[in-house]
Amino acid sequence: MSFCEIRDYKGVKIVYTDIKGTSGDEAIPTFEKVQGLVQKFPDKSVLSCVNATDARFNKNLLSTIKDTVKKNNPKSKATTVCGLNKLSTVILKSIISATGRQMRLFDTVEEGMEWLVEYEAKSAQKSMSA
């Protein structure tokens, strides 16, 4: 069963979306919830992590993901997507290039969450030195 929530990971708030093991349309309601959740945040403030381990994608889900990425782009600071197989990676890379989103792919959720924490720390250092 897929879900989304705000997680505190090492003191950093991350919008965590779990679509692990879902097939196509099962994950669509979760991405619709993500859209509503992210809209409550200030622009360029959202760090998010998507666990897509063993998820299967279909045309409807890919369309929903594209819509979600476009709608959430103004709010997004950085996103990680974890657990994709090779075909899904190719598809997601096309979405990344089409939207210009700061998005990284990782094998595990832990790697993705760690990268987001490091990214946030670097962003904070840049803000302090500016």
Residue range 52-111, pLDDT digits in tens:
999 998 999 988 988 998 899 999 999 999 999 887 888 777 777 777 777 899 999 999
CATH number of 3-111: 3.30.750.24
Q: How many CB atoms lie within 10 A of CB 38?
A: 21
What are the tens digits of pLDDT across the range 34-62?
A: 999 999 999 999 999 999 999 998 999 98
Its pTM stands at 0.90
Q: How many CB atoms lie within 10 A of CB 118?
A: 12
Q: What band does 119 get if pLDDT is binned at 50, 70 and 90?
A: very high
pLDDT of 130 above 70: no
Q: Say how far apart CA 61 and CA 118 lie, in whole Å.
A: 30
pLDDT of 13 above 80: yes
Q: What is the dihedral of CA 103, 106, 109, 115, to 10 degrees?
A: -60
